[in-house]
Structure 1
Amino acid sequence: MTISIDDLRAFREIARTRSFSLAADKLLVTSPAITRRIKKMEELIGEPLFERTTHMVRLSPAGEELFPRAEQLLREFDAFETVAMTMSGNRSTTIRFASVTSVAGSVLSQMLADFHDRFPACRFDLQDGHGTIVHRLVEEQVVEFGIGTRPAPGSNLNFDHLIDDPIVAAVPRSDPLFAAQALDWTEVAQHDFMILKGESSFFGHVELELRHAGKPMPPGIRVRDVSTLLGFVEQGASPIIVTGLIASRCRGPGVKAIAIADPVLYNALGIVTYPNRQLSTAAADLVAHIREALPRLHNDILDRIQTG
């Protein structure tokens, strides 16, 4: 048997009204019910909380000592309840999530802006990086969910597939391949292309798929950072192999995205979650928003880079 919030409310209202019946009316309970609450508290404390006569109810010495503490606890609880109910109504909370760089640097800002229009009190704590970083952050439960690549076979993470981002060539105007309307991997292998390597799973994915198709990997510089790739192609120094979302970040008319066929390769992206983890209401709403918005914005980007 323990003291509950309802017991404290009964104690406070009797002390304020100096009446069991008035306190019961204010709390919308019966007089016997409010009497039972005080009796339970007195049994637990071992002291009477009120001195009662036929004409008067007043705090006992033990009640006088406990009343300010009860008021403080109830003020704090009421404040907590108010904040909690506000969160429920307007998502006034911080959502911690992770995203692969390709999404974070292209369409994520639009998705978050649209979501923020609906829930202006919501805040975001974003950690971006390559796919394996997103998987680790979700697995260690540093974040509630991730926008990332498909986890490796044997992973215990959940994956809700949303889009297939095509792997393309981004070619500067100064390169002979700029005039091409389409390429295949045999042609690509005859030229130097920069490509992500390092801890990113991108290189391994492309290499494995080409090996299965009996195609060689293109030669060229392997780098660890997307910004390095973009810098090289924008300065006309090298064509690069990237996904469509990353290609969309190339600035100006001096870079062209060209589809690569035979085989057509994709980077599968979706929502990554930890098994049986209950998302906060705000995070669940953001995930639902991403499920709707990411495929639509991705299609818009592909249309733009294919016609640009």
Structure 2
Amino acid sequence: MRISDLKAFVILGDLGAFHAAADELNITQPALSRRIQKLEETLGVPLFTRTTRQVHLTAAGREFLERARKIVMETEESVASLRNATSYRRELIRIGCLPSLGLKLIPEALASLRVSHPFVAFRILDMNAIELVTEVARGTLDVGIGMLTSANPEVEFELLYKEPLGVVCNREHPVAGQDDLRWRELAAYPMASNIEQSGNWLKIQRAMDDEHIHLNWFHQIHSILGAFMTVRKGDGLAVVPRCAVEALCIPDLVYRDVSEPRIYRDIGILTPKSSLRPGYVRAFIERLRLQMTDE
């Protein structure tokens, strides 16, 4: 069943005359008649009753008309969209990142790529570190920016830098003015923890377990923004990477490093191991490398 036959049926059903429908389609009346005949043979039912001047839809034709119209419209819209995409967006780079890293690393790299590869479009997805590794391994992302939470044979990881994890609190909090904080000293304060597992959460838990430190995990959050909401006006603390506080610049929040143990997360580039990297993907990765060299 061809779309051209369905389109001929829809137009003939709307206009009710072979000559008018043939003119609309810019084909001859015999050609239009062959299209309708072929469609009727495919469906196994007559779609029209014919007179010398007009045609009328049969009961089956009336029932099928709106379905055929929808198929024709959706197909033509899809073709138009594809042609438009081919004209203006030749390629697509699929990027996944930790939300806390997005504002720090992505804008300059994307701006550079727009200059060198103006026909490349961006798809940017923010996700936690565990999801990031999974999606890169599946090949649904061209580049991931984040942490390698566990070894995966389908993922290559290139370290960019190490970033400390500390605590954030409001400016009136007792620890806001302290420079030499230790994790054991924070056990008295309500802490915000992730509802779901994340790369940061795993790092923190392992470090606390190794040192036999028991923090007061009191509040539950789903994201960095949730952490900031929880502690901005209250007496709680949230463990966050330094870049998250720097990127959002919330004036009444303070970030403090914490030691014993000092906790770092490894930030790097994740790519699918088995995939061939197009030039625009290699250019984006190189820009990320240069960005870290310049800092």
Task: Give the structure-1-normalised TM-score.
Answer: 0.62
| Corresponding residue number in structure 1 for 2:150 | 152
* 1:135, distance to aligned residue in structure 2 (A): 1.1
| Corresponding residue number in structure 1 for 2:164 | 166
The whole-number CA distance in structure 2 between the counterparts of 1:217 and 1:294 is 34
Letter paired with 1:262: E
Moved more, 119-128 or 252-261: 119-128
The whole-number CA distance in structure 2 between the counterparts of 1:250 and 1:237 is 20
Superposed CA deviations along residues 189-213 of structure 1, whole A, max 9, x for unmatched, are: 2211213341323212211122123
- Among 241, 245, 248, the alignment partner of 2:246 is 248
1:227 aligns with 2:237: no
| Corresponding residue number in structure 2 for 1:288 | 286
Superposed CA deviations along residues 91-137 of structure 1, whole A, max 9, x for unmatched, are: 95221121111112443223322332443333211111101111111
- Among 174, 179, 182, the alignment partner of 2:180 is 182
> Residues 123-142 of structure 1 correspond to what in structure 2 (within 5 A)?
123-142=121-140
* 1:175, distance to aligned residue in structure 2 (A): 1.2
The whole-number CA distance in structure 2 between the counterparts of 1:259 and 1:190 is 17
* 1:236, distance to aligned residue in structure 2 (A): 4.5
Letter paired with 2:255: A
The whole-number CA distance in structure 2 between the counterparts of 1:295 and 1:216 is 38
Letter paired with 1:268: D
> Residues 54-69 of structure 1 correspond to what in structure 2 (within 5 A)?
none
Structure 1 residue runs without a partner (length 5+): 1-83, 298-308
**Structure 2 contact 191–215 (Cα < 8 Å) conserved:** no
| Corresponding residue number in structure 2 for 1:300 | none
| Corresponding residue number in structure 1 for 2:118 | 120
- Among 262, 265, 278, the alignment partner of 2:263 is 265
| Corresponding residue number in structure 1 for 2:200 | 202
| Corresponding residue number in structure 2 for 1:211 | 209
1:109 aligns with 2:104: no
Letter paired with 1:228: G
Sequence identity of aligned pairs in percent? 16
TM-align CA RMSD: 2.7
* 1:218, distance to aligned residue in structure 2 (A): 4.0
Task: Give the structure-2-normalised TM-score.
Answer: 0.64
The whole-number CA distance in structure 1 between the counterparts of 2:93 and 2:151 is 28
* 1:154, distance to aligned residue in structure 2 (A): 5.2
Structure 2 residue runs without a partner (length 5+): 1-85
**Structure 1 contact 92–122 (Cα < 8 Å) conserved:** yes
Letter paired with 2:264: Y
- Pair 228,295 (structure 1): closer, same or farther in 2 beyond 3 Å: farther
**Structure 2 contact 98–126 (Cα < 8 Å) conserved:** yes
The whole-number CA distance in structure 2 between the counterparts of 1:181 and 1:151 is 29
1:275 aligns with 2:273: yes
**Structure 1 contact 148–269 (Cα < 8 Å) conserved:** yes
Aligned length in residues: 212
Letter paired with 1:178: A
**Structure 1 contact 162–295 (Cα < 8 Å) conserved:** no
The whole-number CA distance in structure 2 between the counterparts of 1:167 and 1:214 is 18
| Corresponding residue number in structure 2 for 1:10 | none
Superposed CA deviations along residues 25-76 of structure 1, whole A, max 9, x for unmatched, are: xxxxxxxxxxxxxxxxxxxxxxxxxxxxxxxxxxxxxxxxxxxxxxxxxxxx
**Structure 2 contact 99–128 (Cα < 8 Å) conserved:** yes
